[in-house]
Structure 1
Amino acid sequence: MEFAAVILAGGRSSRLGGVAKASLVYDGATLLEGALQAARGAGTVVVVGPDPGTLPGGVLSCREDPPFAGPAAAIAAGLSALQRHRAGSGGVAPPLTLVLACDMPRVDAALRVLLEAAGTSSPSGQPLPEAGPPGDGYMAVADGRRQPLVGLYGTTALQRSVDEAERRGMLINASVSGLLASLDVREVTVPSGATDDVDTWDDASALGVSGLIHGHQPGNRSGTSQLTPTLEANGEDPG
């Protein structure tokens, strides 16, 4: 089944001292590169966040307005960028849109299961235990926890939720759970740990993620002078 992808790669990373999560390294690649690889089946991909200047050809880039306005606003910006791209190319909206945060180093395993669910069968051709009517899409559930930032959502339904939130003035600094509350999604159990994310240096260390940019290592919570180049590059005040 065709799908587009919105990859969220912004945010202040306040618990990482301002170091961009997208630039952290796992298994020889940045977390953003890993997210792009996990979403490789998408027809069109947009990365929402500061443009790292190293995106593969054909990958779109945009920013939520205002910057750091939260994941709901970032999803809205991503959908808008995809719409503009389709308008310019004469394309049509795919039935599903993947929403994916870039800070989950093991998310590839979760996406494989979600995509199998969307196709209603596994690669072996056997029906999946959770196969059934898609409703407004599919959301990953790992270790009993829903993860809305690993979801394949009906494009029309997702846009409808964004439009309603915007109409009510509830996009800026809004939660993704709130944005998606009206959607009838099917929960899909994915492998344990597949949606574990990096919020702190302790998380990074536990997941085998390295903070190699500007000399950072997991657990290094100090060093303002090391952070200054990263913050300035993102247009932030080092203070």
Structure 2
Amino acid sequence: MTAAIVLAGGRAARMGGADKASIDIGGRTLIDAVYDALAGADPVIAVGPQSVSRPGVRVIREDPPFGGPVAGLAAALGAVGDSAEVWLLACDLPRAEAVVAQLRDVALAAVDDAVVLEDADGRIQWLAGRYRTESLRRAIAALTSARDASMRALTAGLSLRTVVDRAGAAIDLDTWDDVRDYRLTTRTVDTEDES
């Protein structure tokens, strides 16, 4: 069974400190879209406030809070247990199901530490991937400190297998403009589908 870690503990500074995980997109919150995508993962660990708690999800927090994604990941890894692999997803992926669908059946070669999406601009999406648990633990142990460390620094020594995101699944919603544009785009698509 593959474990899952969902990072939902950021400040959402570009959204004025809003509770990003609770933003409604098409009648479903962002965090619920991610949880739905991870159906079957066990355990599911969310790093963030208690508001992201759902049945079957264990919520933890890095200490002190707001230490960045690597600090959140480091805190969550202690709760993953002996799962060989772990999904690592941000909470602001409205197309999380398409992320998982593109990566689920990609086998990791012996030299691979992870499989992650690469967006249309060639950027690696570290928070849209499936990692070997021990590889993440080793990478975190190699850092001077997990607090305020970047995902780029964490993954610098890892062998990442990339999959080109052909579904636009790696889109994340970091600003209110992103949310507005995504809602408009999906509403347009829904309207076209109905006609």
User: What is the TM-score when the length of structure 1 is the normalising length?
Assistant: 0.72
Distance 1:53 1:6 in 2: 12
Instruction: State yes or no: 1:69 paired with 2:46.
Output: no
Q: Secondary structure at 1:103's aligned position in 2?
A: coil
In the alignment, what sits opposite 2:181? 206
- Choose which of 98, 102, 125 in structure 2 pairs with 1:109: 98
Distance 1:81 1:54 in 2: 15
Residue 191 of structure 1 deviates from its aligned partner by: 2.4
Structure 1 counterpart of 2:128, which letter?
A: V
Q: Contact conserved, 2:98 with 2:167, CA < 8 A, in 1?
A: no
Q: CA RMSD in A?
A: 1.7
The C-alpha deviation readout for 1:58-87, integer Å capped at 9, x for no partner, is 21110011100000000001101224xxxx
Instruction: State yes or no: 1:59 paired with 2:67.
Output: no
Distance 2:162 2:148 in 1: 25
Residue 35 of structure 1 deviates from its aligned partner by: 0.6
Pairing of 1:4-153 with structure 2 (within 5 A): 4-52=3-51, 54-56=53-55, 58-83=56-81, 93-118=82-107, 133=110, 135-143=112-120, 144-153=122-131
- Choose which of 150, 158, 161 in structure 2 pairs with 1:186: 161
Distance 2:19 2:12 in 1: 6
Distance 1:79 1:33 in 2: 21
Distance 2:62 2:182 in 1: 28
Residue 188 of structure 1 deviates from its aligned partner by: 1.2
Q: Contact conserved, 1:47 with 1:78, CA < 8 A, in 2?
A: yes
Unmatched 5+ residue regions in structure 1?
84-92, 121-131, 210-239
Cα gap change, 1:53/1:73 in structure 2, threshold over 3 Å: closer, same or farther? closer
Q: Contact conserved, 1:15 with 1:200, CA < 8 A, in 2?
A: yes
- Choose which of 149, 163, 170 in structure 1 pairs with 2:141: 163
Residue 133 of structure 1 deviates from its aligned partner by: 5.0
Moved over 3 A (4+): none
Q: Contact conserved, 2:86 with 2:131, CA < 8 A, in 1?
A: yes
Q: Contact conserved, 2:46 with 2:52, CA < 8 A, in 1?
A: no
Q: Secondary structure at 1:82's aligned position in 2?
A: coil
Aligned-pair identity in percent equals 40
Tell me the matched-pair count.
183
User: What is the TM-score when the length of structure 2 is the normalising length?
Assistant: 0.88
In the alignment, what sits opposite 1:225? none
Distance 1:102 1:53 in 2: 10
Distance 1:153 1:171 in 2: 17
